[in-house]
Chains A and B, each alone.
Chain A
Amino acid sequence: MMPDLLIALTMLSNFSLVATSRVSKAIQFAVFQGVLLGLMPLAMGLGRHFHIVLLAIAAVTVKGWLIPFLFRRALKQVHIQREVDPYIGYTVSLMLCALGTGLSLVLAHNLPLKPGTEYTLLVPASLATLFTGFLLLVSRRKALTQVVGYLVLENGIYLFGLLLVEDMPALVEAGILLDLFVGIFVMGIVINHIRVAFDSTDTRHLAELKD
Chain B
Amino acid sequence: MVWLLILVPLLAAAVAFAVSSPTLRAWILPAVGLLHLGILLVALAGWRTLPATAWFGLDALGGWVLLVISVLFCICAFYAPAYLALRPERDHRVLSTCLLGFLGLASLLAQARHPGIAWVAMETTTLVTAPLIYFNHNRRSLEATWKYLVIGSVGIALALLGTLFIAYAAHMGGLDEPLQYTRLMENASRLSRPWLRAGFVLTLVGYGTKMGLAPLHTWKPDAYGETPGLVGALLAGGVTSCAFLALLRIYAVVGAAGEGAFARELLVAFGMLSMAWALVFMVRQTDFKRLLAYSSVEHMGILVFGIGIGGLAAKFALFHLAANALVKSVLFLSAGNIHRSYASKQLPFVTGALRRTPVSGWLFLLGFLAITGMPPFAPFLSEFNIASGALSTGHILGGTAFLVLLGGIFLAMSETVVQVVFGTPSTQRVRTPYKDAPATTAPLIVALGLALVLGIWMPRPLQAMLNHAATTVDGGLSARMEVQP
Residues of A bordering B, CB below 8 Å: 111-114, 130, 134, 137, 143, 146, 150, 153-154, 156-157, 160-161, 163-164, 167-169, 171-172, 175-176, 178-179, 182-183, 186-187, 190, 193-194, 197-198, 203, 205-209, 211
User: Lowest 9 A-B CB distances belong to which pairs?
Assistant: A172-B116, A175-B120, A206-B143, A167-B177, A209-B222, A179-B123, A114-B172, A167-B176, A157-B161
11 contacts between A and B (CB under 8 A): A112-B172, A112-B195, A114-B168, A160-B161, A160-B164, A164-B164, A169-B177, A175-B116, A175-B120, A179-B124, A187-B149
Cβ contacts B105-133/A at 8 Å (1 or 0 each): 00000000010110110011011001100
Are the C-beta atoms of B134 and A193 separated by less than 8 Å? yes
8 Å CB contact of B127 from A182, A203, A209? A182
Tell me, yes or no, whether B449 is within 8 Å of chain A by CB: no
CB distance from A205 to the nearest CB of B (A): 8
Interface centre among A156, A179, A198 (most CB of B within 10 A): A179
Give A193 to B94 CA distance when docked, in angstroms: 15
Tell me, yes or no, whether B273 is within 8 Å of chain A by CB: no
- Provide the residues of chain A in CB contact with B124, threshold 8 Å: 179, 182
- Provide the residues of chain A in CB contact with B146, threshold 8 Å: 143, 190, 194, 203, 206
CB distance from A126 to the nearest CB of B (A): 8
CB distance from B166 to the nearest CB of A (A): 11
Tell me, yes or no, whether B215 is within 8 Å of chain A by CB: no
Give A186 to B157 CA distance when docked, in angstroms: 16
Are the C-beta atoms of A209 and B226 separated by less than 8 Å? yes
The chain B residue with its CB closest to the CB of A173 is B116
8 Å CB contact of B171 from A134, A164, A178, A190? A164
- Provide the residues of chain A in CB contact with B153, threshold 8 Å: 150, 183, 187
Are the C-beta atoms of B168 and A209 separated by less than 8 Å? no
The chain B residue with its CB closest to the CB of A196 is B142
Residues of B bordering A, CB below 8 Å: 114, 116-117, 119-120, 123-124, 126-127, 130-131, 134, 138-140, 142-147, 149-150, 153-154, 157, 160-161, 164-165, 167-168, 171-172, 176-178, 192, 194-195, 198, 221-222, 225-226, 281, 285, 290
Give A175 to B109 CA distance when docked, in angstroms: 13
- Provide the residues of chain B in CB contact with A175, threshold 8 Å: 116-117, 119-120
Interface of chain A: mostly helix, strand, loop or mixed: helix
Are the C-beta atoms of A130 and B161 separated by less than 8 Å? yes
- Provide the residues of chain A in CB contact with B285, threshold 8 Å: 211
8 Å CB contact of B167 from A130, A164, A186? A164
Give A183 to B143 CA distance when docked, in angstroms: 17
- Provide the residues of chain A in CB contact with B172, threshold 8 Å: 112-114
The chain B residue with its CB closest to the CB of A189 is B131
Contact count A vs B, C-beta below 8 Å? 121
Give A208 to B221 CA distance when docked, in angstroms: 12
- Provide the residues of chain B in CB contact with A205, threshold 8 Å: 143
- Provide the residues of chain B in CB contact with A114, threshold 8 Å: 168, 171-172
The chain B residue with its CB closest to the CB of A198 is B139
Give A208 to B290 CA distance when docked, in angstroms: 14
Are the C-beta atoms of B290 and A190 separated by less than 8 Å? no
Give A72 to B160 CA distance when docked, in angstroms: 27
8 Å CB contact of A190 from B139, B149, B198, B281? B149
Are the C-beta atoms of A206 and B147 separated by less than 8 Å? yes
Give A143 to B142 CA distance when docked, in angstroms: 12
CB distance from A39 to the nearest CB of B (A): 20
Are the C-beta atoms of B157 and A154 separated by less than 8 Å? yes
Give A168 to B164 CA distance when docked, in angstroms: 10
CB distance from A155 to the nearest CB of B (A): 11
Given that A157-B160, A157-B164, A193-B134 are known contacts, is A172 also in contact with B117, CB under 8 Å in the complex?
A: yes
Give A15 to B176 CA distance when docked, in angstroms: 35
8 Å CB contact of A183 from B123, B140, B145, B194? B123
Given contacts A190-B146, A206-B143, 15 further A-B contacts (CB under 8 A): A112-B195, A113-B172, A157-B161, A160-B164, A160-B168, A161-B164, A163-B171, A164-B167, A164-B168, A167-B177, A172-B116, A183-B126, A187-B149, A207-B143, A209-B221
- Provide the residues of chain A in CB contact with B160, threshold 8 Å: 157, 176
- Provide the residues of chain B in CB contact with A206, threshold 8 Å: 142-143, 146-147
Are the C-beta atoms of B140 and A209 separated by less than 8 Å? yes
The chain B residue with its CB closest to the CB of A112 is B194
- Provide the residues of chain B in CB contact with A143, threshold 8 Å: 146
Give A207 to B279 CA distance when docked, in angstroms: 23
Are the C-beta atoms of A169 and B178 separated by less than 8 Å? yes
- Provide the residues of chain A in CB contact with B120, threshold 8 Å: 172, 175-176, 178-179
Are the C-beta atoms of B130 and A190 separated by less than 8 Å? yes
CB distance from B141 to the nearest CB of A (A): 10
The chain B residue with its CB closest to the CB of A127 is B161
Give A161 to B119 CA distance when docked, in angstroms: 14
Interface centre among B130, B134, B143, B290 (most CB of A within 10 A): B143
CB distance from A189 to the nearest CB of B (A): 8
CB distance from B147 to the nearest CB of A (A): 7
The chain A residue with its CB closest to the CB of B160 is A157
Are the C-beta atoms of A153 and B226 separated by less than 8 Å? no
Are the C-beta atoms of B142 and A190 separated by less than 8 Å? yes
- Provide the residues of chain B in CB contact with A207, threshold 8 Å: 143
- Provide the residues of chain A in CB contact with B123, threshold 8 Å: 179, 183
8 Å CB contact of A146 from B114, B150, B226? B150
Are the C-beta atoms of A172 and B114 separated by less than 8 Å? yes
Are the C-beta atoms of A168 and B157 separated by less than 8 Å? no
Are the C-beta atoms of B149 and A112 separated by less than 8 Å? no
- Provide the residues of chain A in CB contact with B176, threshold 8 Å: 167
Give A90 to B283 CA distance when docked, in angstroms: 40
The chain A residue with its CB closest to the CB of B131 is A186
- Provide the residues of chain B in CB contact with A190, threshold 8 Å: 130, 134, 142, 145-146, 149
